[in-house]
Structure 1
């Protein structure tokens, strides 16, 4: 009976987690949409506010409208006029105290990570961490710059070492390029390997089993 229960769990668990993640994302986007509707209803006439309140209860509408908004925004900023408006928007936000620090920092990180010409998170590597002889998977995020690069004489690379099984937290390292071994696996394959704690191999199959470590011999 235990074998059958585990077999059934292996069938339903991935599906249940997938549905849970999708439901969480949809709920998050719907929450953002409802907050925007509530803000609009506060400044519009009463009749318009009631109509917006009815729209807030349409399931999935927030996800659809937010995706459509991002699509139209991307199409707008892809041309010359949109680029001009984007520069003006950045200039205005760059003059607001506190807001400019947060906005500029997030914009720099997002431009680096998601730009098609950027090199951040384009390469998975092996690096010895936290000491010599112990290896872990890391992602190349670029090269040290500014004052930091001036203090590093050799050719260094910036690395992000994610934690397991939650890769959204981790460690930032700067290591000599000669000490880094480039992997042929893609970033997606490396993330699967990290999240599964080495259970799912780079080829999508399970990792080879290992023999138990023998206990030390007592003298």
Structure 2
């Protein structure tokens, strides 16, 4: 069932691990199938480097397990993934990571401003990577905590927990998770260089103005 989508989830999880966004058994990944509406999610407590498509668990949006070929349970944070898909019907992939710099700001419940223009890809409607309030992992409190911030951005922090990135594409969701970590690291160093004073960031309106240069012209084939 949904073998291509299972492979997408495996590749998301392994890419996050390879890029240093998650270590050991941390973090989780999912995709939503556009036809069935089913969500395919990583299992709990499995080393991402050992994952196979058989290990990926298929669920519906009501948290019913449809298929678990390896007999594994879905990640304990699957309710969070399901809530994100219900809140954002426009997205089809979720990458949850525990990257170091992003998580450090999450511990402080400190939003990350759009310090460089690359933040434009993160759909930051308020010009910052917002923070979801603390919720104990594996509880409805956690899944409910992400509802409001994920409406305002494709990249959010989770207080004292980690980060979440969403996109239509599995690859782009992980890439956005990597951008969160890069923005967090840049922000950290900017604060350090600036004696702890906040460097500020781009306004949301400025981030939304980006467009490919109209001056670039392509010749028609002869």
Q: Return the TM-score normalized by structure 2.
A: 0.20
With normalisation by structure 1, the TM-score equals 0.21
Q: Tell which structure's C-alpha radius of gyration is larger.
A: 1
